[in-house]
A and B are shown apart, each in its own frame.
Chain A
Amino acid sequence: MTDGKRKKRRRSPEASMMTTITRKIIIMAVLMVMFFAFLIFRTWTIMRDNGERYKKRVLEQQKYDSRAIPYQRGAILDRNGTLLAYSERVYNVILDSAMAMNYEDEIETTLNAINASMGFDKDEVRTYIKEHPESQYHIMGTVTYEQKEEYEAYLKNYNATVTEENKTRETKLPKINEKTIWFEDQFRRTYPGGSLASDVIGFTTADGRGQYGLEEYYDDMLTGRNGREYGYLTAENALERTVVPAENGYTLVTTLDSYIQRVCEEKLREYDIAHTGEFRENEMGADNTGVIVMDIHSGELLAMASYPYYDLNNPKDLSMYNDMQVDQLAKMGGWKDEFLEGETKEEREEKEAMRLEKASQSLWKNFCIAQSYEPGSVCKTFTVAAALDAGVIHDGDSFDCRGYLTFGEGSKATTIRCHQRYGDGVITLKQAVEKSCNVALMLIGQKLGKDQFLKYQRNFNFGLRTNIDLAGEMRTSSLVFNKNNMGITELMTSTFGQGFNVTMIQNISAYASLVNGGYYYQPHVVKQIKDSSGAVVQNIEPTIVRQVVSESVSRLMIDYCIGVVDEGTGTRARPAGYRIGGKTGTAERSGQGKRDYTVSFMGFAPADDPQIAIYVVIDRPNTASQENGTRNACILCKDILTEILPYLHIFMTEPLTAAERKELEEKGLKDTLSMNSISGESISENEASAPVPMEDKPEIKVLIDDKTGYAIDPLNGEYLDPETGAPIDDDSSIFQDENGHPIEIEVLTDEESEKLDPRE
C-alpha cells in the first residue's frame, strides 16, 4: 500500500492523515539523523580540542586515596649493643579545622580534650580554627605514643559518659569530635647518649638525611623505603586497599665501646675545663683536643672523641659554650667578620647568624679525621721503623748529637737544632727515640734518603685517605711532600714530623701497624650491618691493607716506645700499675705570625702484649709553654688508660707505689695486679720484661753563664734550663740559623691545607 495509491483514491480521512504524518515524520527523521551526526561530531571535537589537556587534568586531580607509611631509620649500636642512635615513633597531631567548623558546638569539648591530654594551648588552637576555617591539614605539633594514648582514652571515656548522660537529657551535651584531631605517625631520631660520640655518629636533618659521621657515610644503609597504603581498582573494578609495608633501614653495629668513649669524652672535657683561660684569657683549654682508641689487631676503633663536642639531639644548640667560646669556634670555622659600630640591626643579625653557623660547622667537624696538623715527634717512630726496615740502620747503632745539625751548602746551608741545645751526646738508636733527638733522626733521614723515606711514608698511608667509614675524612695528598718538592730541608724536617700534615686517624692507623707486627689495617667503625629483624646483612671484617714493616722491626719499635714511657719523654703517660709504650710529640705551628704548638702522645698498652693503641692530640693548648702542653697530653692519656685498661680486662703488671694506690682508691679503681697473678702468669716473667737499667748517660758539656748562673746556648747565647737543655724562652724555635735567628721552614698551615682540600 503506497502513498500514490492512497492519493488516487479520493482520500479517506485516515489515508489523508497518514499522508500528512508521513511527510512530517520524514522531515523529523532527517532532522534527527542530522542531530545524531552532530552529537558524534560534538563528542569528537571535545576529544580533538581538549583531549591532551583533559587527560592531564584527569591525572592531576587524582587524589590517590593513599597514605605514606614512614620507614624507620636504622639504629646505631655500640659493640655491646648499647643504643647510640635510634628512631623513635612519634605522632604528628593533625588539626582538621573544616571538620571542627562542621561541629561547632563540639569545638570546646575537643579543645579541652587536647589541652588536658596533650597540653596544647586552647586559645592558640581556637584562633587557628577561626582564622583557617577551611584548612583540613595543619600539623599542630608532635606527641609521644603515651600522649596519643592518653588523648584517645580521654576521648573514649568522655564520649561514653556523655552518650550515657544524653539518654536522659532534653538538651544534649556536646561530645568530643573524633574527626577534628587525628594522628600521623612519624619517626624522630633520638640519640640516648646526647653528645656521646657526636663526631663519629653525626646527626640527621629534619627530612631524615644523615649529616656527618656514620649518619652521612652509611645514609643509604640507614635509610629505608617508605611504605604506602593505597586504594586501587582491581580488574573486577573493586576498590581494594593495599598496604605496601615500609622497609626499615639497616642497623649499624659499631666497634665503638660506649664506656671507653664516655671516659675519653669526660677526660677531654675535664681537661678543657681545667685549662680554660689558663694562658690566653677567655679561650678554651685548646682549640681542639682529640682521642682515638684503636684495637691494633683489627683496626677497629674503640673510641674516637674530640672536644668541643655537641648535643646530637639538638645539633644547633650552642648553649653549652659561652659567648667567647662560640667566638673561638666561629673563628676556627672560618668566621672572620667582626661587629662594627654603626651597623644596622639587620646587618648585625645577619652576621650573628653567620657566626653561629660557622661555630656550629666547626663543632660538627670531626677533628680526628677532618683536620690536619703537623704531627711532630710522634712521627719519629715511623722514620726509625722505616730506616730499620730498609736496613740502613740497626738496633744498637749510635748517633752523635751536638745540639744542632747543619746541612746543605753555601747560602742554602740550614741549621736545625735539637730540643736539647747542648746536644744529647753520643746516644743509641733507642735513646734517640726515648729522648726524641732531632739530630739523630736527621742523621737517620740522611741515611735513609729521600726516595726510601717517601716510599715508607706512602706505605704508612700518609698522604692517602685511610678510607675509614666516616663521612668527611680529609684528603691530605697535597699536604705531604713528593719527589719533586722534597728537598734536603724538607726531608730533614719530615724525619721528626714537621713540614707535612696528617690527620689523627692516619697517624694512629700507621702507629698501630708499627706495634702489631707490621700489619696496616684499614681503620673502621662499623663491624656489622643488620636488617631491622636482626638478621646479619654484612659483616665487616678487619682488612689488612699491607705489611709496612717486618715483625722484627715491629718488636724493636715496641721496645723503643716502652723505653720512651719508662725513661724518656713520656713517663707521665704511664697509668699506675701498668707498663705501656708510646711516643710524645710536639709540633710547632709556625707561619701564622705567632708560635703555637700541637702536642700529642701516641701509645699502646699493655707493654708486653700490645692490644690497643691510643692517640691523644691537643691542638693549640692554652698553656704557657710547650713543655706543659706535652706533659698535659701524657697526663690526659694516663687518665684515660687508668680507667679503660681495667675495663678491657687488661690487668696490672707493675707494683703500685703508695701514692699511686691512694690515687687509684680515690678514683674507685681496684688494684688488678693480684688478679693478674691468679690468671696464671708468673710475676717473674713480668719482671724479666721490666725496664733495663739505662746505659751510662752520655757526657754533656754545660756552659754556665757566670753572671746569671743559667746555662747558655753555645750557639746563640740563649738561656737554657740546666736540667733539660731546653730554652727558657718559649718563642725559641728549633729552626734557627747558627746565630740563633729563627728561620722559616716552609710548612703548610691548616688554613692552606684546608684550601687545598677540594671537599671543604
Chain B
Amino acid sequence: MEEEVRRKKAGRRKRARDRIVLPDLFILGALFALMIIGAVMIYSTTSYTTDLNNQSQFLKKQLIAELLGLGIIGFIYLMPYEFIRWFGSKRIRVVMLAGALSTVFLLMTPLGKSVNGATRWIVLGPLQVQPAEIVKIAILVYIAGFIAEKKDYINTKKGFFHALAVTGLSAGLVYKISNNLSSALIIGGIGVLMIFSATKDWARQIIGYSIILVAGVWFMMAKAHSAQAAGEVENLKFRYKRILIWEDPTNPDFYYEGAFQTLQGLYAIGSGGVFGKGIGKGIQKLDKIPEVHNDMIYSAICEEMGLVGAAVVLLLLGTMVLRCFYLALRARDTYGMLLCTGVMLHIAIQTILNVMVVTNTMPNTGVSLPFISYGGSSVLFLMAEVGLVLRVARNSSR
C-alpha cells in the first residue's frame, strides 16, 4: 500500500524532475564570473613568457577545457535524474572509483609525466590528466552513493569504517603514488566530512579527527624542529622543510629550497594594496613567482587587482559554496543532498587550502584555486561537479 503511494508520488516527481527549467543562476553567474577572472589572470600571468608567437597558449588551453566543462554541465543537466543516481548505484560507483584509482596507478607506467620531481600527470596523446582530480569527483560520488544506498548502514560501526576505509585508501594511494599531500588531504577531507555530515554522532568523530590532526601536525613540526636544532635540515624531506619555511619564509637558508615562492607570493600580495597595480601591470609574475598562473594565482590577483579583487574572488567562491549548501538543503533526496555537500566541501576546502598556502597561513603545498587556476583537469572535473549540483537543483525545483 505504502509502496504504491510512493510509486505514484515518484511518478509525479519524475515528471517534475524531467521538466527543463533554467539552471540555478547564482551558481552559473558565479561560475562565469570566476571563469572570466581566471581567464584574464591566466593571460596576464602567462602571456609575457618567451614564446612571443604564442602568447595565449595557456589561455587557449584553459578556454578549451572550460568550454568542454560547459558541455559536460549541459550534458549532465539534461540527463534524467536516474542517470546521476545510476552513478551512485553500487556496482557503478565501485567500478568508477576503481577506475579512478587505476588511473593513479597509471602514473607508475611510462604514461606518467613528471613535473618538478613529482609524477602527477598521465599523458594520453594530446591530453594530460591529473588522476588526483578524477579521484576527487569519484570519491565524492562514491561516498554519496554509499551513504544514500543503505540509509542506516553508515551509522553502524561496520558501515562507518567501510566508508572511512574507502576514503583513506583513495587518499593514501594518491598521496603515496603521486606524492601529492594536498590532493590526498582534499580527498580525505571530502570523504571524512561527507561521512561526518551523514552520521548522527558528533563528539567521537570531532574528537577523533582532532586528535589525528593535532598529532600529525605535532609530529611533523617536532621532526622538522629537531632536525633544525641538530643542524640536519639538509637531510629533511621537502615537506618538513616547508614547515620551517612557513615559520620563517625570510630565512635565507631556505630561499632556494622553495621559500622564494612563498616570499615572492607575499611580496606580490603586500605590494598590491587595496586596488592593486592594475590588471596586467603586476611585476612579480615576471619570473619571480613559480606557478604564478597555477597554484600562486591568488598572489597575482592580489598584486594586480588588490584587496578588492581578492575579496571579489573569495566572495564569488563563497557564493558557490553557500549556494551548494542551500541547494543541498533543498535537495529532495539524501543522494542529491550529499552530492551538493560534497561539491560544497570540495570547493571550500580547496579554496581555503589554496589561499592559506599563498598567504603563508599554512605550510606550502600545491593546491589550485577552483575555477581560476590554470589546469584543464581541475576545471573539467570541478565543472562536472557543478553540473551534478545543477542537476540536483533542477530536480528539486517546483
Which residues of A are at the interface with B, using a C-beta cutoff of 8 A?
A: 1, 13-14, 16-18, 20-22, 24-25, 28-29, 32-33, 35-36, 39-40, 42-44, 46-47, 49-51, 53-55, 57-59, 61-62, 233, 235-239
B:17-70 near A, CB below 8 Å: 43-44, 47-50, 52, 55
- Please, which residue of chain B has its CB at the minimum distance from the CB of A239? B48
Say if the beta carbon of B118 comes within 8 Å of chain A.
no
Query: Do B329 and A24 touch (CB < 8 A)?
Result: no
**Cα of A3 to Cα of B336 in the assembled complex, Å:** 16
Do A18 and B271 touch across chains, with their CB atoms under 8 A apart?
A: no
Q: Is B356 an interface residue (CB 8 A)?
A: yes
Flag if A28 contacts B193 (CB, 8 Å). yes
Q: Decide if A39 touches B283 in the complex (CB within 8 Å).
A: no
- Measured between alpha carbons, how far is A414 from B316 in the docked complex, in Å? 108
Residues from chain A with a CB closer than 8 A to the CB of B193 are 28
Q: Which of B44, B52, B147, B151 is close to A239, meaning CB atoms less than 8 Å apart? A: B52
Q: Which residues does chain B contribute within 8 Å of A17, judged by CB atoms? A: 147, 151-152, 198, 334
Indicate if B266 sits at the interface (CB-CB under 8 A): yes
State the main secondary structure of chain A at its contact with B: helix
Q: A36-B317, A39-B355 are in contact. Are A233 and B272 (CB under 8 A)?
A: no
Per the bound structure, the CA–CA distance linking A33 and B328 in Å amounts to: 16
Residues 159-181 of B, flagged 1 when their CB comes within 8 A of A and 0 if not, give 00000000000000000000000
B318 within 8 A of A: yes
As a 0/1 sequence over residues 260 to 285 of chain B, the CB contacts with chain A under 8 angstroms (1 = contact) are 00000011111111100000100110
Residues of A within 8 A of B361 (CB): 39, 42
Question: Do the beta carbons of A47 and B272 come within 8 Å of each other?
Answer: yes
Interchain CB contact under 8 A, A238 and B47: yes
Please report the total number of B residues contacting A with Cβ < 8 Å. 61
Is B129 interfacial (CB 8 A cutoff)?
A: no
Instruction: Give the Cβ gap from B155 to chain A, nearest Cβ, in Å.
Output: 9
Which of B78-86, B132-140, B340-348 is near enough to bind chain A? B340-348
B363 to chain A, nearest CB (A): 15
Closest Cβ neighbor of B352 among chain A residues: A35
B interface list, Cβ under 8 A from A: 43-44, 47-50, 52, 55, 147, 151-152, 193, 196-200, 266-274, 280, 283-284, 286, 288, 302, 306-307, 310-311, 314-315, 317-318, 321-322, 325, 328-329, 331-334, 337-338, 341, 344-345, 348, 351-352, 355-356, 359, 361
Tell me which of B197, B280, B344, B356 contacts A235 (CB under 8 A): B280
Known A21-B341, A47-B307; judge A58-B334 contact (CB<8 A).
no
Given A46-B269, A55-B273, A237-B280, 16 more pairs with CB closer than 8 A: A1-B332, A18-B333, A20-B199, A21-B334, A22-B329, A24-B197, A28-B344, A33-B318, A35-B352, A42-B359, A47-B307, A51-B273, A54-B269, A233-B280, A236-B47, A238-B52
Chain B CB count within 10 A is highest, among A17, A42, A59, for A17
Q: Are A46 and B266 in contact (CB under 8 A)?
A: yes
Q: Check if A14 sits within 8 Å of B333, measured CB to CB.
A: yes
Contact between chains at A51 and B270 (CB < 8 Å): yes
Given A18-B334, A28-B197, residue A239 in contact with residue B270 (CB < 8 A): no
Residues of chain B within 8 A of A51, CB atoms compared: 270-273
Q: Contacts A25-B328, A238-B55: A58 and B283 contacting too (C-beta < 8 A)?
A: yes
11 of the cross-chain contacts (CB-CB < 8 Å) are A14-B151, A17-B147, A28-B344, A32-B352, A35-B348, A40-B311, A46-B270, A47-B302, A51-B271, A58-B271, A239-B49
The residue of chain B having its C-beta at the shortest distance from the C-beta of A63 within the complex is B287
Chain B neighbourhood of A50, CB < 8 A: 266, 270
Question: 5 smallest A-B Cβ distances: which pairs?
Answer: A54-B270, A13-B151, A24-B197, A55-B271, A237-B47
Select A58's contact among B268, B307, B315, beta carbons within 8 Å.
B268
Given A47-B274, A58-B283, A238-B55, is A20 in contact with B337 using a C-beta cutoff of 8 Å?
no
The answer to whether B288 and A61 touch across the interface, beta carbons within 8 angstroms, is yes
Within the complex, the shortest CB–CB distance from A395 to chain B, in Å, comes to 85
Complex Cα spacing A59 to B282, Å? 11
Q: How distant is the Cα of A236 from the Cα of B337 in the complex, in angstroms?
A: 45
Task: Tell me which residues across on chain B come within 8 A of A40, comparing CB atoms.
Answer: 307, 310-311, 314
A43: which of B283, B284, B310, B333 is its contact (CB, 8 Å)? B310
Contact, CB under 8 Å: A233 / B48: yes
For A3, the closest partner residue in chain B by CB is B329
Taking the closest CB of chain B, its distance from the CB of A338, in whole angstroms, is 55
Q: Are B55 and A54 in contact (CB under 8 A)?
A: no
Closest to A30 in B: B325
Q: How far is the CA of A98 from the CA of B385 in the complex (A)?
A: 50
Measured CB to CB, the closest approach of chain B to A232, in angstroms, equals 10
With a cutoff of 8 Å between Cβ atoms, the chain A residues found around residue B274 in the complex are: 47
Closest-by-CB residue of A relative to B197 is: A24
> Contacts A238-B47, A238-B52 known; A58 to B266 CB distance under 8 Å?
no
Which chain A residues lie closer than 8 Å to B266 at the CB level?
46, 50, 54
Within the assembled complex, what's the spacing in Å between the Cα atoms of A733 and B125? Answer: 110
Q: Contact check, B270 vs A39: say whether CB atoms are below 8 A apart.
A: no
B52 in contact with A18 (CB, 8 Å)? no
Closest residue of chain A to B302, judged by CB?
A43
A residues less than 8 Å from B314 (CB atoms)? 36, 39-40
A460–B248 Cα distance when bound, in Å, is: 79
A62 CB, min distance to chain B CBs, angstroms: 6
**When the two chains form their complex, are residues B338 and A21 in contact, meaning their CB atoms are under 8 A apart?**
yes
**Contact, CB under 8 Å: B270 / A20:** no
User: A53 contacts B270, CB within 8 Å?
Assistant: yes
A21 contacts which chain B residues (CB < 8 A)?
197-198, 328, 334, 337-338, 341
With the chains together, A36 CA to B197 CA distance in Å?
20
* Interfacial chain B residues near A14, Cβ < 8 Å: 151, 333-334
**Bound Cα distance from A536 to B116, whole angstroms:** 61
Q: CA A668 – CA B52 in complex, angstroms?
A: 71
Q: How far is the CA of A53 from the CA of B273 in the complex (A)?
A: 12
Of chain A, the residue at the smallest CB distance from B330 is A1
A28 CB contact (under 8 Å) in B52, B302, B345: B345
Complex CA distance for A25 and B151, rounded to whole angstroms: 17
Residue of B nearest to A1 (CB): B332
Chain A residue with the shortest CB-CB distance to B147 = A17
Complex CA–CA separation, A47 to B48 (angstroms): 26
Contact partners of A233 in chain B: CB under 8 A: 48, 280, 286
User: A527 CA to B311 CA in the complex, in Å?
Assistant: 69
CA distance A42 to B269 in the complex (A): 11
Q: State the Cβ distance, B287 to closest chain A Cβ, in Å.
A: 9
- Give, as a whole number of angstroms, the nearest-CB distance from A46 to chain B: 5
The residues of A that contact B288 with a CB separation of less than 8 Å are: 61
| Inter-chain contacts of B272 with A (CB < 8 A) | 47, 51
Cβ of A62: which chain B residues have Cβ within 8 Å of it?
Answer: 283
Give the docked Cα–Cα distance between A759 and B151 (Å): 103
Shortest B330–chain A CB gap in Å is: 9
CA separation between A166 and B184, bound complex, in Å? 48
A327 to B308, CA, bound (A): 76
- Which residue of B is nearest A36, CB measured? B318
- List chain A residues, Cβ under 8 A from B270: 46-47, 49-51, 53-55
B55 touches A237 (CB 8 A): yes
Inter-chain CA distance A17–B348, complex, in Å, is: 23
Enumerate chain A residues within 8 angstroms of B332, measured Cβ to Cβ. 1
Is there contact, CB below 8 Å, between B50 and A36? no
CA distance A25 to B311 in the complex (A): 24
Q: B271 near A54 (CB under 8 angstroms)?
A: yes
Contacts of B315 in A (CB 8 A): 36
Q: Which residues of B contact A61 (CB under 8 A)?
A: 288
- Quick check: B355 and A43 within 8 Å, CB to CB? yes
Residues of B within 8 A of A36 (CB): 314-315, 317-318, 321, 348, 351-352
| Bound CA–CA A43/B332 (angstroms) | 38
Chain A residue with minimal CB distance to B205? A24
Distance from A231 Cβ to chain B, minimum over Cβ atoms (Å)? 9
Known contacts A25-B328, A237-B47, A44 near B334 by CB under 8 Å: no
Residues on B with C-beta less than 8 A from A57 are 267, 271
Q: Is the CB of B273 within 8 A of A20?
A: no
Q: How far is the CA of A700 from the CA of B359 in the complex (A)?
A: 111
**Closest CB of chain A to B322's CB: distance in Å?**
6
Inter-chain CA distance A53–B314, complex, in Å, is 25
Contact A33 B359 (CB under 8 A): no
